[in-house]
Structure 1
Amino acid sequence: MNTDHRHRPLQRLLALAVALAGPLAVVSPAGSAAVNAATDEPGLGCGSSEVTHTLDSGSAWRMCARIDPMKGLVLEQVQFRPASGAREYDGWLPVIDSLYLAQLVVPYDSGHWAYNDVTGFGFGDYQLLAQNEKLCPGSTMPVEQAFMFGPQLLQRTIPGICLTELASGLGWASHGSNDSRSDSYIQQGRSLEISSMTKISWYEYQQKITLSDQGTITVGLGATGDLAPSDFFFLEDPSTGWPIGEEPEDSINYATSHWHNAVYRVDFGIGAGEQQVEQWDYIQPDPLQPARVEGVGTIRTDAFHAPEDADPQTWWRVLNPTWLNPDGHPRSYEIVNDAIQNPYDPLTRPQVSFTNDHACQEYASDNLNAGCPGLAVPDYVAAETEPLTDPVAWVNVGFHHIARDEDQSPMPAHWQEFSLAPRDFLTRQATTPPERSCVNGGPVTEGGSCAAVNVVAPRITTESPAVTMGTILSSDRGTWRVTRSPLAFHRQWLRDGQPITGSNGVDHTVTAADLGRRLSVRVDASAFQVIPGSATSAELLIPSGSSPSTSPTAQPPTRITPTLTLTQPTKGQPRLRIRVRGKAGVGTGTLVVRGPGGWRSTRTLSKGTVVVRVPRALAASRARLVVRYRGDASYLPAQKRTRITRGHVR
C-alpha cells in the first residue's frame, strides 16, 4: 500500500509560497561559494559543474557534480591523481563514469506503507535544501532549477552542493624502531566531501560522497529530521514497533519500524576499453588444517546477483585487464559493503548485482525512463544477453530503523555506507613520501631513506664580532636523514635568493655587492639511487654603510607585505586568478574570497597561485569581491578589493 500523505505538509508550504510569489518565483542564492579550480589543463567539458580539488596532502580529484531532479547528487567522469605524481602516473586516472542513488525503498514493518523515494518523490527540485554555513563548513556550488509545482513554474538558483575538505584522521605511520630517535614517517589523512541536503516530508537526507587522498570513495546516505507523525505511523503493535515517549494510561503506541534500502548505481570507468568483474571466494580445504584458507578468483562473464547465502568473506572487484599499473598488475576497484540488506524483497536482498551499462536502466526500481518503463534490477539482470564487459554495480546498502526515544526531534543522523577501494590501482599508496618511494614488493629490508631529506636547516655563522665588508661567513650543511647510500653535498651561496657566481664553498667573504642585501646558503644533497634534496638556511641581512651587524648568526627575516595580483581569463565561466608574491618569493598558506550575500571561497595557494571560479550571478551583477590573504612565515596578511564581470577585473 502506497499513499501520498507523506507529501502533504510540504505541499501546503509550497502552495503558500506559490501564492505569494505569483506564477513565476525567482529565488536568488543567499550565498554560494566557488568550485575549486585547477590550472589551465583541458577540462572535462561539463562547464560550471566541473570540480577540481587538490587536497592539502597532495592528491587531487576532479569530476562533474550536479543535482538531478529525481536522483539528487550525481557525480560523473570521476578521476583521481595521486600525490606521488610522476613517480606513479603522470596525469589523471579515470575511475567512475557515473555514481548516484538509484532508489531508496522504505517499507514499514506493519505492511501498511512502502515508498520509493527516488522515483516517487525525488531528491532534487523543491525537495533540495539550500546550503548555509551551518550545513556546509566549506564552499558551495550554485544549482539552477526550473520545475513545475502543480500549474506553477518555479525557477531558482540556490547553493545546493557543498564541497568541504576534511581531516580524516591518521593517514599512515611507520617507525624504524621503538626508539623515539629513529626515523618515523607520519601523515594525517585528508578527504574531499561532496554533499547535498534533501527534505522529503518529515525525513531529511544528506547525500554524501567522500573522496580520500588514498583514492577511496565512500558513499553514504544520512537520515535525520523527525520521526513519522504519530497519527499514521504509531500503532498498537509491539511486534512491528517500539514504544516512544510517555506511555498513556489506556494504551501504548509503538513507532513503526521500517527499512531504508538505498540502492546505488555505480558505472565503472577504469581506464579505456572493456572491463571485467571478478568474484573472490574462500574455503577451508581441510578441516584438519584449520589455519589454511584458500581463495580463488573467478571472472564473471554474465550479469548476475550476489548469492543470497554468500559467505561474508566473498568480495567483488571491477578491473581493466589491459590497463596495468607500473608493476604489471591490472588496475581495479573493490566494492567494500559491510551494511545489511533487507532479505524480504528480491530487489534489496542481494548485496550487489551486476549488469552492463544501458542508458535506459537509470533506476533500481519503478524506472521512469521510457525505454525501460517500470522495470527493476532483477529485470535488468534477467534481460542481459551480452558478456559483462561494461559493468554497472547495483549496490544495496540497508538500514533497519527501529526507533528509540533518542530519535525524537531533531533526530540524530543515522548512516548507511559502502566504499569503493583501489586495489592495485597504484603500485604504492597514493601519498607515499619520497623517503619510502623505493620500497616495493615487500617490507622494508634496507635501512635508510630513499630520498635526501633535511631535518635541520643549514646555518650561517661567523667568528667576527661584527658583519661588514670582508667578513668571512661559514656554513654547515644541516642535518639530514640517513639514506641508503652516502650523501654528497654541494653548497651554493645566495644573494636575495639568487645564486652568487663562484660562491659555492663552505665559506663566503662579504663583498660590496652584499651590503644591504640578504645572504643565505643552499645545500644540495644527492646519492646513488636516492632522490636528491635541498635545504636553504635562514637569511642574514648584511648592513649597508658603516653600521655593522653585531649578530654572528643569521636570524629569521621580518615578515613583509606581499603583492596580490588579480587577473581574470576572458573565456569560460568567470574566474579570478590570484597570485601572491614578493621579495621573499611566492606566498604559501590560504586566502579567502568573499562576495555579496554571504558568498565565500577558502582556498590553499599552490606555487603562490590559486584560481577561484565565481558564480555567474555575481559576475552578471558586477559584484565587488574582497580577497584576503592570511599570511605565512614570510608575509603579513594582505587584502585587496575588486569588481568582477564576465570579461574584466578592475
Structure 2
Amino acid sequence: MRLDRFRRARARTAMALAVAGLAAGATAGAGPAAAQPKAAPAPAPDCSAAYRIEQKLANGTTWRMCWRHESKAGIVLQHISYQPPGETRPIKVLNSAKLGQIHVPYDDGSEEYEDLTTYRFGDGLVNLAPGECPGGTIRTVKVREPSYSDSTDVKGLCTTTRARGHAYRMLTDPLDGSARKLYQKQGKDLLVYAVNKVSWYEYITEWRFQDDGTVHMNVGATGSLAPQDYDAADGQGWPIGKGPKARALSHSHNVFWRLHFGLDGSSKGRIEQYDSKVTPPAPGKPAPSNRTTRTQVTRELAGDARNMRWWRVVSATGKNKDGHARSYELVPGATAKYPGRGFSRHDVYFTQYDKCEQYASGNPGCPSGHPKSVDKWVGGQTLTNPVVWVNVGFHHIARDEDQQPMPVHWQGFSLAPRDVTAMNPLTPKELAGANGQLD
C-alpha cells in the first residue's frame, strides 16, 4: 500500500513536470507562453537618497526602504517593500519596524534596566570598522548627543549582502526514462545592521531581507560582562574566575520589536490566529488526525505561543495572482519568557495604532494618565489599524566562555511570506506552469 502511494505521487510529479515543460513554450529557453506584463514605472522614492536603501539581489529580488535615527530606538526602518522577479510593482510590507524596548532585570532583584528609554539606546550608536561591513557600505548617521563618538556624524549603519546557502533544491525523478534534472538555487540576503553600546554591553541590531521575501529581525548581545556584578550577592551567580570566585550575576534580556504593517499600502490589515489539535486515530483510520482552526483576532490581544499555534497579518486590499490574500506569518525564535513584569508575560501583543505608543515599557510620549506599558494598552479596542509587538527573551547565565570579549548571543524572530506571490518567487522559468498542476 505504501509503495503504491509512492508510485502514484511520483507519477503526479512527472505529469506536473511535463505540463511545466509544455508551459515553458516550444522554443528552447523560452519562458511561459503568456505574454509578459510590461514593467511598471519606477516607484517614487519615499525619502531622499541619503536615507534610502535599495538593493537588487542576485536572484532578481529588489528590497526598498527608508531609514532614520531616533535617540531612544536607534535605527528605524520605514516604507519597506519587496519586489520579487515576475512582479511589475513593489509589494509594500511594513510602514515601520524598530526596537520597542530592551528590558534587563537581574536575578537577585537588585537592578532592572530599560535600555531604550532610560539609557537612550540610540545615542549609543558606535562607529563601525570597515571590516564589520564586508562588501557593503557604511552610512553616516547624524546623532545629536552621541555617547561614544567625538562627532555627531557616526559611521554606524551597514548595508551589505550575504549568501545564506540553498534557497531550494529539487531533483526530478521522471518515469519515462529521461535523465534526471537538478534544480537548485543559492540564496542571497540584504543585511542592514548597526551596533549600539549601553554601558558594558554592545547590541547588534540586525535586519535580514531574503530574496524569497522572508524577513529576519535579530538582536545580538556582545561586549563585556559588567565587572561590578562579579560578587553575585544572591549566591547564585555563575563562577567565571578561578575556583568559586568572580560569580557573575545572572539576568534577562527581554527584547521587544514594534511593527506597523502596511501590506499593499494599507494599514488596515487583519490578524488571524491558527491552532492545530492532534487527536488519536479514529475508527478505521491508521493514523492520528490533525485539525487546524482559524480565529479572527478582531480586538486587541495579548497572545502566548503554544505548540502548533501561529499568527499572520493579512492584507486588507492585496491579492496574489492566484487570487489569495497576501499575508505575513510571525515565526517566533527561541525564547525564555520572563514573568516578572506584566508587559513581559506574553509573546506577542496586537494593539490598535496610537501614535504615542512607541515603547513596550517606560513609554514616555503619551499624555498624563495614559498607561506606560504595552500590556495595559490591550484594552479591547477593535483592531482596524493593528500594531504588532513581539517579545523574545533570553536568560543569560554567564559561562567561562563569555570572557573576554563576550561571544554574540542572538535572539529574534522572522516574518515569512504566506501567499504574497502565487508560487515560489525564485521558481525557474521551466517550472512556471506547475502552479496547482499536481493532480
Residue among 290, 298, 303 paired with 2:300: 303
User: Which residue identity does 1:176 align to in structure 2?
Assistant: T
Q: What is the rounded CA distance, in whole Å, between the counterparts of 1:148 and 1:225 in structure 2?
A: 18
Q: Which residue of 2 aligns with 1:312?
A: 307
**3-state SS in 2 of match to 1:358:** coil
Pairwise CA distance, 1:147 = 2.4
Contact 1:146–1:155 (CA under 8 A) maintained in structure 2: no
Could you tell me how far 1:374 is from its partner in structure 2? 6.1
Letter paired with 1:415: W
1:413 aligns with 2:411: no
1:144 and 2:154 matched: no
- Given that 1:284 and 1:292 are in contact with CA atoms closer than 8 Å, whether structure 2 keeps it comes out as yes
How many percent identity over aligned positions?
37
CA distance in 1, matches of 2:72, 2:112: 18
Partner residue in 2 for 1:246? 242
- SS of residue paired to 2:130: coil
> Structure 1, residues 314-342: CA drift from partner, whole Å, max 9, x if none?
10000024321111111000000032222
- What is the CA deviation profile of residues 152-200 of structure 1, one whole-angstrom value per residue up to 9, with x for unaligned ones? x975212211011000111111111299942211110000000001111
Q: Structure 1 pair 254/170, CA: closer, same or farther in 2 (3 Å)?
A: same
2:429 corresponds in structure 1 to: 434
**CA displacement, residues 531-552 of structure 1 (integer Å, 9 cap, x when unaligned):** xxxxxxxxxxxxxxxxxxxxxx
Deviations 1:55-102 (A, max 9, x none): 11110100012221110121111000002x2xxx31100000111111
Deviation at 1:368, TM superposition (A): 1.6
1: CA distance, partners of 2:230 / 2:352: 39
Q: Does 1:173 align with 2:175?
A: no
| RMSD value, Cα | 2.2
Distance in 1 (CA, whole Å) between partners of 2:231 and 2:371 is 31
Q: Deviations over 1:84-129 (max 9, x none)?
A: x2xxx3110000011111100000111111100010112222x111
Q: Give yes or no for contact 1:108–1:259 (8 Å, CA) kept in 2.
A: yes
For 1:227, the equivalent position in structure 2 comes to 225
Question: Counterpart in 1 of 2:360?
Answer: 364
Seen in structure 2, the aligned counterparts of structure 1 residues 226 and 166 have a Cα distance that, compared at 3 Å, is same
C-alpha spacing 1:370/1:237, structure 2 compared with 1 (3 Å): closer
State whether structure 2 residue 384 is matched by structure 1 residue 389.
Answer: yes
1:79 aligned to 2:81? yes
Give the 3-state SS of the residue equivalent to 1:124 in structure 2: helix
Change (3 A) 1:242 1:300: same
Q: 194, 200, 218: which is aligned to 1:196?
A: 194
- CA distance 1:425–1:99, change in 2 (3 Å): same
The verdict on how the C-alpha distance between 1:287 and 1:110 changes in structure 2, with shifts beyond 3 A counting, is farther
Determine the structure 2 residue equivalent to 1:268.
Answer: 261
Aligned to 1:212: 210
Match of 1:338 among 333, 339, 361: 333
Shift of 1:405: 0.2
Segments of 5+ residues of structure 2 without an aligned counterpart are 1-40
Distance 1:148 1:263, change over 3 A: closer
1:190 and 1:40 map into 2 onto residues whose CA distance is: 23
Paired residue secondary structure (1:396)? strand
Equivalence for 1:70: 72
- Give the aligned residue type for 1:177: D
How far has the Cα of 1:246 moved from its partner? 0.4
Residue 59 of structure 2 is matched in structure 1 by: 57
CA distance in 2, matches of 1:233, 1:361: 37
How far does residue 141 in structure 1 lie from its aligned partner after superposition?
A: 1.3
The structure-2 alpha-carbon separation of the partners of 1:267 and 1:46, relative to structure 1 and needing over 3 Å to count, comes to: farther
> Are the equivalent residues in 2 in contact too, given 1:237–1:253 (CA < 8 A)?
no
Give the match's secondary structure for 2:50. Answer: helix
Task: Name the CA distance, whole Å, in 1 between partners of 2:146 and 2:246.
Answer: 39
Query: Do the aligned partners of residues 253 and 156 (structure 1) sit closer, same or farther apart at CA in structure 2, a change above 3 Å counting?
Result: closer
Query: How far off its partner does 1:296 sit?
Result: 0.6
- Structure 1: which 5+ residue stretches go unaligned? 1-38, 446-650
> Is the CA contact (8 Å cut-off) linking 2:116 and 2:122 kept in structure 1?
no
- Listed one character per residue, the Cα deviations across residues 603-629 of structure 1 (whole Å, up to 9, x for unaligned) are xxxxxxxxxxxxxxxxxxxxxxxxxxx
1:148 to 1:343, Cα distance in 2 relative to 1, 3 A? closer
Query: What is the aligned partner in structure 2 of residue 45 from structure 1?
Result: 47
Alignment of 1:6-45 (within 5 A): 41-45=43-47
1:358 Cα deviation from its structure 2 partner: 1.1
Deviations 1:285-318 (A, max 9, x none): 55657620100111111001014xx532110000
